Amino acid sequence: MKKLLFVFGTRPEAIKMAPIIHAAKKHSELFDVKVCLTGQHKEMLHSVMDFFELKADVDLALMKANQTLFDITADAIRGLEKVLNEFEPDIVLVQGDTTTAFVGALAAYYKKIKVAHIEAGLRSHDKYAPFPEEINRKMVGTIADYHFCPTTAAAENLEKENINLNVFVTGNTVIDALLWGVQKIRATDVYAKPFHFISLNKKIILVTGHRRENFGKPFENICDALNFIGSKYPDVQIVYPVHLNPNVQSVVKERLSNKNNIFLIDPLDYPHLIWIMDKSYFVITDSGGIQEEAPSLGKPVLVMRDVTERMEGVTAGTALLVGTSKEKIIEEASKLLDDNIHYQTMSKAVNPYGDGTTAEQIISILAKQS
């Protein structure tokens, strides 16, 4: 029996790990499964754990006020040393490109434990965009023994870095999680209640934004673009769950408060986020995961980044890079609202990120490894 330790600390990691954890637990004759949270995030993470019916075996609870990357890195590696000594896993699974993922892989390497990297091979080829994620995922890639890539392009990125052993193209577990979650929320009206202020008879634009590289002037441009769109299209509703980071809150509230059709709301937990995404006409975001999720629901995505490690969506036509240019955001949002043929082309493009079977593929592969 293989002992698997899942290490994660943020909401996106939990969402993408959940299908694999459940798939592994279905095969209890093959796997002894433990879950370790670092606590890199807190409130948002625990709501996802509840939604996906997951429980942590260990919670390092590292989150503290005004923590820095230095704090997270140092505290996590000290905490993980104790966990690895106690559980002695055969494989440590980390997901994506967070500091938790990097430290989880590094800690496992220090103990000579094999590492499986979920969502391997993503690259923007700019070490500061996104920061620090681009370097985190490259360092995990260097350490990992098993690389589970969401797309062929991701696998090709690894090949260019001379990583050729145990590279598997499986799709992305975010699609597994999304399809499970949407089925659950569509079965009840309970998730609609917090959105009493919107009309489902009008077009809804969902906006999310939190990237460090967009702090300052870029966020001002984004807000000015949203303000213009709201004024130009008074019947369109813009719903913006505002990230708690003060660098985001201050700019957004200063520039977008008290607008008739722009709704600034608190950050959403995962089920409410996918509920409003499911009801949206299209999405404007700088998030990574939403670039993968929204197309599965037929929602075009305008990506407020100059580069993305998820170019497959751009190539397929489900997503479009608009950067943080006020003019570009306005131009492309207007095209989606005014040109139905353009909208249909984006909304019906094939999502390149998977078909909902990724978790089972990963568990099947791990079961065969010696």
Q: Which residues are catalytic?
A: 97, 119, 133, 210, 212, 243
| Distance (Å, whole) CA 25 – CA 32 | 8
Nearest to 208 by CA among 188, 232, 226: 226
